[in-house]
Structure 1
Amino acid sequence: MIIAVVMAASAGATLHPPAGYQQAPQHHAASRFTCPAFPAPFTGALDFTSKYEGSDSARATLNPQADRAFHQQTKSITGLEKVVSQVVAGFAHDGNPARAECVVNGLDLWARAGALTTVAKNHTGKSMRKWALATLASSWLQLKFSPAHPLEGQQEKVADIEHWLSHLADLTVADWRDLPLKRVNNHSYWAAWAIMATAVVTDRRDLFDQSLAMYRTAANQVDNAGFLPNELRREQRTFSYHNYAIQPLVMIALFARSNGVEVTSENNKALQRLANRVLSGFDNPDVFTRKTGIPQDIAFTRQASSLAWLEGWCALEECGPEVKQRIAALRPLHSTRLGGDLSWLFAPH
């Protein structure tokens, strides 16, 4: 009831991101910058090889040959994500307007080509579309809401790009909504994050509400012990996928709070239970081993990008000294699909 009242009160307000997306660049120097080459727009069928091809239903055993094929097939898409994320992160630090112009020109080529809008013929195709959208929309937010106004004077291209992102969001909604619960897992949560970021870019309340609905489905999947049943099927990667699943949920909760909607209370503070479960695994993953009966792959815990969500989590909830120390040792924490430099966006300066 409280959530419904807050939503009603804010329904007419313009959507906006958390404050970190609206801070001025650290410097205002036209530092030397050469715009990197953007990959050619991907306009083919979204039909890609799964890196787990040949695996059983757990989808936990990597197929090296299929993985190589996947990376080759998706090279232009991941290349676009990388260049946009890196250039926008650079703008946050030096404020060079040439960086914004670089991103606008590069994305305008993809927008005018209708890239990524073809039929997604398989699960991996749908996944690539929503991952790309998550990166592009969350990076674009930093240019759109910057008090330096780096997009001024490029209105026509900006309109084309935002229309394209909006279209990608509609396709992402169609790809991932109304799935049976047994198939709703981390992929749906990442789709919801892509939709949320685009909702704020385009000020579309319908996308905002769709993302919240998907978030609530996720929250209702968290059990009393903080586990996600559909991620428990991932055998040796169960812990890894719990860590992966929470990342977009934290971002959605942050964006919801910034727009007057508090979702952290959903399902008796489900997000906090999930976070506590994942955090406990960093020091001792045995709880996941006992739950699955399989020793866990913990390689991801040594990858800073896999832990970047902690910056968002500590902006959402008060973190203890152990978590703060873990984050401080890893900064700056960067995650391309969560918005780039999360230390810049969420850590106290």
Structure 2
Amino acid sequence: MSTGATIAATVERFVRETVAPFERDPRRASHGPSDALVQELRGLAREAGVLTPHILADGSHLSHRDTAMVLQAAGLSPLGPLAVNVMAPDEGNMYLLGKVADPEQRRRFLDPLVSGEARSAFFMTEPAADGGAGSDPSMMLTTARADGNHWVIDGRKAFITGADGASVGIVMAKTPEGASLFLVDLPDPAVRIERVLDTIDSSMPGGHAVIAIDGLRVPADQMLGNPGDGFKLAQVRLAPARLTHCMRWLGSCRRANEIATDYACRRHAFGKPLVDHEGVGFMLAENLIDLKQAELMIDWCADVLDSGSLGTVESSMAKVAVSEALMRIADRCVQVMGGTGVTGDTIVEQVFREVRAFRIYDGPTEVHKWSLAKKVKRDWKATQA
């Protein structure tokens, strides 16, 4: 077996045998599992040798193709990515810092994330009510001005995953040279949580917060790259992060389909098992098709990223195809299980909620389609020259 397959098999055993029993733990709340639960799970992962399994001892990352196997295994439980430290936004932030941070920045901000001792947040999206940046980052309103050997940041951010309880922040703000990224120690009195939003998903510690940033002073050596590099550096993170979302939630949908299949094969109605009724059996058959198509789409895009390409177009295509396929799968699982499917008796209803939110995260389906349509037009124009 490949390195990725070997690690994935170990992670899968750990998630199924050790993590899954915690799915009924009362420390899981509407704004995500408590940090106490996360640290307990990470302690177990550390003992089992599966903590941060996608980053090797020498600091190198698994290939994107191998990462796909590992993150799908972690996603078999909503708590799995948290336990083994491959959850969003930390996984994407670790990837970015590993690629672009200088040695001192890696020591201060990356190492605590890799060890599982700290959580992080990526501060980019802004409140719609302010007219700030959402799917269009060029609308950025948060500003950073130079003041001696510091930058001073002011603005508001929204939907910031994990900000409540994070120790490491990556903040995007507009400088005279353009958008820039800053590493921030948290908590800081200049970074205030206005509120944690009530959302349909509940798998990420700290939930999703609206943030006010008022006079945040950041040393100049905590800028990532150079002034104006923000969009370029964000692209290093965004394409792989879109794909790792696909990987984790593919694992979740595999588990939901297992639960729905077990239910359909055990539950009898009208004289036979539910699975023998065409309307139910066909839904499970369609799930198998969508699961395989999602897996192949992920592997295709992972190969593109492993070739050294930024994979911007390919990750948009994968994000749309996989998120829509997973939504169909999760919806069918609920439908197959009837009333049980909408209760908290299994993780199926949570998977449905998480995947519904995924259709928005990292760019709504419609934004990616719009971007791809612009490429279609550009490519057509190129043929007319």
Q: Flag whether TM exceeds 0.5 (same fold).
A: no
TM-score w.r.t. structure 1 length?
Answer: 0.30
Question: As a proportion of its length, which structure holds more strand?
Answer: 2
Question: As a proportion of its length, which structure holds more helix?
Answer: 1
TM-score w.r.t. structure 2 length?
Answer: 0.28
Greater C-alpha radius of gyration: 2
